[in-house]
Structure 1
Amino acid sequence: MIGLALRSLKFHKGGFVASFIALFFGAALVIACGGLLETGVRELAAPQRLRAAPIVLTGDQGYPGSNKVFRERVRLDASAVSKAEAVAGVQAAVPDISIPAVVVPAGGRGGATATGHGWDSARLGPYRLVEGSAPSVAGQVALDSRLAARAGAKTGDRVTLGLHGTMSAYRVTGLVSGPGAAGTLFLANTDVARLAPQHDKVDSIGILTRPGADESRVRAALADAFAGAPVSVLTGDERGRAEFPDVVIHGKNLVSMSAVFGGLAAMVTVFVVASTLGLSLQQRQRQMALLRAIGSTPGQVRRMVLAETFTVAVFATALACVPGPHLGHWLLSRFADADVVPGVLIYRSGWIPMVAGAGTALLTALGAAWIAARAAARTRPTEALAEASLERRRLNWIRVVVAVLCLAGGTTLSLVTMNVDGATAGSTATPAAMLWAADFGLLGPTLTRLMTALLRWPLRAVTGFSGQLALLNAKARAARLAGAVMPVMLATGMATALIYLQTTQNQGAQQAFEDNLRATLVLTDASGGVPTSLVDDIGKEPGVAAASAYVPSSGFLEPSKAALAAYNGKGRKPKGSPVQITGVSPAGIERTTAIRVASGSLADLGTDTVALPESAAGGHRIGERIPMRMGDGTEVDPRLVATVGDQRGYGAALMPASVVAAHTTDGLVPQILVTAASGTDAKQLSARLTGSAAPLPGLRAVDRSALVTASAEQNDTQTWVAYLLVAMVVGYSVIALVNSLVMATGERRREFTLQRLVGATRGQVMRMMTVEALLTALAGLGLGMLVAVATLVPLSRAVLARALPAGPPSILVVVVVATLVLTVGTTLLTARVALRTRPSAAIGSRE
């Protein structure tokens, strides 16, 4: 039977080419997502400023016991430097501290962004002086030669540096050359110690080993020395995590994003390949029946089908291993261009993504072939040829059971989506869409007959005899029609659901931002932030009704003492839940935002206190201590003084700005919200706060409309990545749609010939096929819209508190028009090609 299987391939090229295309694109897409997943897991970036240090110590960004990460840089105690130096084989432990900076040229206009470091850390590059001398006392700076050229500065000049919320004049003592980005400058060690975001803390420690020391042993000794402490010991390309902590933070985002869309791609692959193979084998039902009639056993028929499918699948998946990694690398580059992931993130796609992608395609193909071959293999020889002329009407019990499970899963996820926070609703809505599509696919023949019955009267009323003939064909060959309808359902349902899912979430986040912002102006600083003390000064300025610091961050609400006490070592240990944290000024926050106090008072918000959103405060009472972890991993235990409305899941825990800023990467207030007093002109107030008499040189003002526009653009940039991945999956579904329609129409050459022989003209056949194409498109659109509705209504209720999703109607129009054009156009083009064959030649053909 194996030899027969191989010889039969050339006689059924259409079906096998369709299967090859479905397997190839599906495997390539899964491999690409797998490469992105591995890239996010590895979190590698080539070190630049720390390149000369073979080993680097830095804070562990991971939340203990989970795959979550802290969003702010986790720093090391300064005492870790002497502890590392005491390890055998360590020649020197060099601390490194990064300080956001801006270099303002002599003219005072513009400025070049940079990062400041202590001169001692220059040898970790290594950097070398190309002109002048190193900074040795306060007020001196050495600039990267590229940065100096950009800022128009040279040795001996005085430049203004914005460092840690202050503007001060520094003398350029030298120019340096070294690796890394151009925006690097070096300060005297005394200045760095004074300006460090967190005193007695360092960002990382570069380890220089003694000559002849075994680096692997030194690393092991360092790991032992810091065992139990939140310290990461890094070598190779892992060292880039210390220099670029965003690699870790956004690497985790890449993991979740690629896992979701990789799973979606795998599901679509399973659906498409199973549908394509099922349709291909259904077209060969007469051949299978003849084999059974001449004495072939069920096992022989199954082995023949499996051998044919395995041969095609091996070639398709092997070929997909070539473009798959390149597709993943291209996607990562697009993400980096959109600033969604750091550009320094190194792409890694090893054997695991390839095995996963190829394995998914192979298992899908073999599973689909085995299921499709069961009917022919179990047919009695005496009934085989009779059954070949008819289609089975019943669904087998396996499909019914799996369909019921998918229905239950989709319903459960939809209910969960409706009752979770709007910010997280998408994480359950996406798999719900997958389950709804799978459920409809499994019930394809039954649902297709139902849709045909609903569309029968309208189509018959407007299409006449051609429509009647098309509907009779649809009724007699429901399984064949279902094979064409299901790809249409998949493409339209997933496209509509996933695109409107993104637009709805985008609108929800933007609406929450606009509803919350009441400030007239937002003040920022050229150096990236201002000291918390400036807020009080701004609040005293003429024309200012209220001012509040705004420090966005995130952290974790730790399990309560009662939950930890109830844990007895069995089951899962309670873990913290992520929470957004915002640093504010209690005196001005209620007049600059729309924050609504539900209980307690924000006036009580002090150094050791917190106000929680209502959704996060469940079970806690005013006055109770709330165990938390700040954004840099520091454990705190503030007292609950108020609860606030959470704006459908977009709220945040509120704490004093000085407390939150002390646990952020930059240690500054990035924004000050200002509400103008009644009768005060916003433009005049802006000029007063940012002009020559400004409370702090370098302040910039942005009005509310500009801030809203900037927020919308940022949301659009972030959702662009999701659109790109959605486009990949939907594009594959469209390929499958065209693939299935070509195969379903092309195999009807004998049927068209018979119609021609009994007197039908070519135009009559084409009109019949037009009606069938419309029936296919409308049935697929109807089922696809049901998938979209089941996905989007719960999501919209969670995000927007309404049933209708957000987004332009043009998206739906494009989906509908594209579906009609693709379905009708592909069907008619394939039918036209099939009708070119002369009736006498078609009767004698093998397919």
Structure 2
Amino acid sequence: MLTLALSGLRGRWTAFVGSCVALALGVGLLAVMGLGLASTFDAPERAPQRFAASPVVVIGTDTLTVGRVSHELFHPHPVDAALLRELRALGEVATDGRPDAVGVDADPEAVRRVVGDRGRVLTGVERRQADPEPERDAEALVTVNALLGTAGGVTAFVSVFVVASTFAFAVALRRREFGLLRTAGATPGQVRRALLAEAALVGAAASAAGCALGAWGAPELARVLVDGGLAPEWFTVRDAAWPYHVAFWTGLSVAVTGAWAAARRAGRTGPVEALREADVDSGVLPLGRRLLGTALLLTGAALLGWTLLTDPSDLLKRKTYTTQPMLLITGVALLAPLLVRPVARALPLPGATGMLIRENAAAGLRRTAAVAAPVLVTVALAGSLLGSAGTVSAAGAAEARRQTAATHVVTGEDLRPVSVPGAALSATASTGVYVRDGETAVVRYEARAVADPAAFAGLARLPVLAGDIRDLDDGSIVISQEIAHSESGRRAVGDRLDVWLGDGRPVTLRIAAVLATGTGDNGPYVTAAHARAATVDRIDVRLPPGTDPAVLRATGGTVTTADAWAAPATGPQTRLGLLVVLGIALLYTAISLANTLVMATSIRGRELRSLRLAGATRLQVMAVVVGETLLAVGVGAVLGAAVAAVDLAGLGAALASLSAPVTISVPWATMGAALGGCALVAVAAALPCAARTGR
């Protein structure tokens, strides 16, 4: 079997080059993403800076602990004057003008006895927690981890999808060879073992090359992430063994699995049947593939429907709308041979040449489906990923603009109040509350503290489901529907709600109003009396006609129109990350298209020469080949657009159920560019091979 497999590889090395390159690239990318992920698990330990010369640091209470649950406070407590006096009795105390922490040159145990539960005592590397933004390194790695996790998941999906389908198509093209082997006396088991041995040899070689490629590419990835602002300047790729193991064995498994189904079918086919089916595709969709494709489509649709009914806000999360299309894409791709004929006949192709192109595409279902599949992946991912991100961003922007009657918005830190004749101003500050959810859970919510409830009610246009925001006062709270329908039970207007404020104080407040969940930013509202440490960071202003907005500069903040303030904006880091993911998919698509078309066109010599003998000119033959290629690309584009449409429709339904603005954003330019790139690669691969084969 090994000798036969090696002979097959030598005789058909051109058919395996594309598969080998695609597999090596996939393994390399998986290794790169794995090495990058392994480097994001732990932030580097940095030496304390703020009180580097103090062996002991005392900070005020900065966490809220309820049972076994702890949360960071929105407004940490300072080190109070009484505790500071007691600490000075133990030794020299260093301060830097900020009341949240001090440094003590004293015995740590003595300091702990004095502090008790009035603060936290830090020694050694823990003293870093007193530095400004002590968690900035870990938070920076969260972004990198999310990006690499998403990119790695999409890479795995696309690589497995493309490589498996490429291997399966390469096997399907060798039906005549299998028929001859069966006629010569080869058993079904021998045919299967030969094919699997070929796949194992190619898979092992390509996976090893991919691991070497990953070792080279991982440091380059770190440099790109740092240069693009996606990772902190200190980010580097660390050595780890598990990414290489995962990448290598995944690549080998994909190669063998991709050939397995086709090998089983080839082994079951009789000699005469294989020779009869060698020229015209028939029975290209086995029952098992039909059942699997249908099951994946139904599962994807059921999950989408279930999420809409139970937790529609989950569809607005990046992790969901990134993975949601995968089931639908795979299901449609498995059923592609069944969909080729109706889609191809629906596309307008006039004249005799158009009829010939359409019939050739319908006769060569395997070839057409193999070309359409990678295009389907690229178009569907482009429409789903960028479309979902743009839709969520646009909906959030429209919601923010709809919720204020202001003409201008002032933003900044510690804004100063101003008085403008005839203007309406509402100042708010960032704060938060903690609400019990169930028996043991406590959920942390970002909130807004309202300085003047009457002025706030005059400008706010919040999506109120029950109650009235004009009833907000120092004894009440405005909550979201998410809090009202928590696991702790239904909460209605007028009920008393136990909460912890941003500084950890427990209070009981009356529910004044309940807001629709929306895109997720309709958090609780309290009065400034419940956020004493919060400073004003936003002022909504409705200026009378003819008033110069420059009068608002006295606040010390940035003045923008309400429309500009609420304009949708996808962060450059998010957009760059999505484009990286799409770039990976497009690269795979290019390799798969080129490889598939070279393999498929190389065996059409007799067919193309027959067209010449029937009177077709060389130019007409090339036109037919180009037309078939573009038709297959068009079929993939239609199927991919259908998947993207289903995903975006589900997202629109989720926004509607959350009482959020339904603003569907379709990335036409990106989808068009991806489709144009696919068409260009496909034609560039098919034409030279057709010209050489049809001589």
Residue 192 of structure 1 aligns to a residue whose secondary structure is coil
**Runs of 5+ in structure 1 lacking a partner?**
87-92, 95-118, 121-187, 211-217, 565-573, 691-698, 839-847
Q: Which residue of 2 aligns with 1:495?
A: 382
Asked if 2 retains the 8 angstrom alpha-carbon contact of 1:423 and 1:505, the reply is: no
1:191 aligns with 2:97: yes
Pairwise mapping of residues 367-516 of structure 1 onto structure 2 (< 5 A)?
367-381=257-271, 383-389=273-279, 391-393=281-283, 395-416=285-306, 418=308, 420-421=312-313, 424=316, 426-455=318-347, 458-459=348-349, 461-462=350-351, 464=352, 466-516=353-403
In the alignment, which residue of structure 2 is the partner of 1:310?
200
Does the 8 A contact of 1:40 with 1:254 survive in 2? yes
Q: Which residue matches 1:8?
A: 8
| Matching of residues 176-575 of structure 1 within 5 Å | 189=95, 191-193=97-99, 196=100, 244-324=134-214, 327=217, 341-345=231-235, 347-348=237-238, 350-381=240-271, 383-389=273-279, 391-393=281-283, 395-416=285-306, 418=308, 420-421=312-313, 424=316, 426-455=318-347, 458-459=348-349, 461-462=350-351, 464=352, 466-524=353-411, 528-530=413-415, 538=418, 541-543=419-421, 545-552=423-430, 557-559=435-437, 563-564=438-439, 575=441
Q: Deviations over 1:240-279 (max 9, x none)?
A: 9985413333433444443333222211112101111011
| Alignment partner of 1:814 is 2:641 | no
Structure 2 CA distance for aligned equivalents of residues 309 and 275 of structure 1 = 13
Q: Which residue in the other structure is 2:28 paired with?
A: 28
Alpha-carbon distance change, 679 to 788 in structure 1, aligned in 2, over 3 angstroms: closer
| Cα drift, residue 494 of structure 1 | 1.9
SS where residue 304 of structure 1 aligns?
helix
Contact 2:449–2:531 (CA under 8 A) maintained in structure 1: yes
Does the alignment pair 1:792 with 2:651? Answer: no
2: CA distance between counterparts of 1:603 and 1:802?
Answer: 24
Q: What aligned pairs does 1:588-627 form with structure 2 within 5 A after superposition?
A: 588-606=455-473, 609-618=476-485, 619-626=490-497
Distance 2:363 2:125 in 1: 67
Q: What is the CA deviation profile of residues 389-431 of structure 1, one whole-angstrom value per residue up to 9, with x for unaligned ones?
A: 5534153333223212211222123325655138825543332
C-alpha contact (below 8 Å) 1:776/1:823 kept by paired residues = no
Match of 2:597 in 1: 741
| 1:708 aligned onto 2:565 | yes
| Paired residues of 2:463 and 2:515 also in contact (CA < 8 A) | yes
Q: Secondary structure at the match of 2:255?
A: helix
Report percent identity of matched pairs: 26
Other-structure match for 1:654: 525
The CA deviation at 1:436 is 1.2
Q: Which of 485, 499, 512 in structure 2 is aligned with 1:641?
A: 512
* 8 Å CA contact retained: 2:597, 2:685: yes
Pick the aligned partner of 1:781 from 600, 618, 637.
637
**How many Å separate the matches in 2 of 1:305 and 1:607?**
76
Distance 2:207 2:619 in 1: 41
Report how far residue 808 of structure 1 moved. 6.0
CA contact (8 A) 1:422 1:648 kept: no
Secondary structure in 2 matching 1:391? coil
Superposed displacement of residue 445, structure 1: 1.2
* Letter in structure 2 aligned against 1:508: A
For 1:557-586, what per-residue CA distance to the aligned partner results, in whole angstroms no more than 9, with x for missing partners? 431xxx42xxxxxxxxx6455644223322
8 Å CA contact 2:178, 2:271 repeated in 1: no
CA contact 2:382–2:667 (8 Å) conserved in 1: no
Cα RMSD between the aligned structures? 4.5
Q: 2:207 and 2:58 mapped to 1: Cα distance? A: 42
Higher percent of residues as helix: 2
Equivalences, count:
671
CA–CA distance in 2 between the matches of 1:500 and 1:803?
13
Cα deviation for residue 770 of structure 1 reads 2.2
Matches of 2:63 and 2:692, distance apart in 1: 61
Hey, what's the Cα distance between the residues in 1 that align with 2:475 and 2:518?
25
1:806 Cα deviation from its structure 2 partner? 1.8
Task: Give the distance between the partners of 1:813 and 1:69, measured in 2 at CA.
Answer: 49
TM-score (norm 2): 0.82
Unaligned runs of 5+ in 2: none
- Alpha carbons of 1:256 and 1:57: their partners in 2 closer, same or farther (altered >3 Å)? farther
**d(CA) in 1 for partners of 2:58, 2:593:** 53
Aligned mates of 1:290, 1:52 — CA distance in 2: 83
Q: Distance in 2 between matches of 1:207 and 1:740?
A: 72
Q: 1:629 to 1:817 in 2, by over 3 A?
A: farther
Cα gap change, 1:319/1:827 in structure 2, threshold over 3 Å: closer, same or farther? Answer: same
Q: TM-score, normalised by structure 1?
A: 0.68
Q: Compute the displacement of 1:313 (Å).
A: 1.8
Structure 2: distance between partners of 1:598 and 1:589: 18
Report if aligned partners of 1:247, 1:345 keep a CA contact under 8 Å in 2.
Answer: no
CA shift for structure 1 position 782: 1.6
Contact 1:551 1:661 in 2 (8 A): no
Rate the CA distance shift 1:725–1:307 in 2: closer, same or farther, 3 A: same
Give the counterpart of 2:450 among 578, 584, 603: 584
Change (3 A) 1:207 1:524: farther
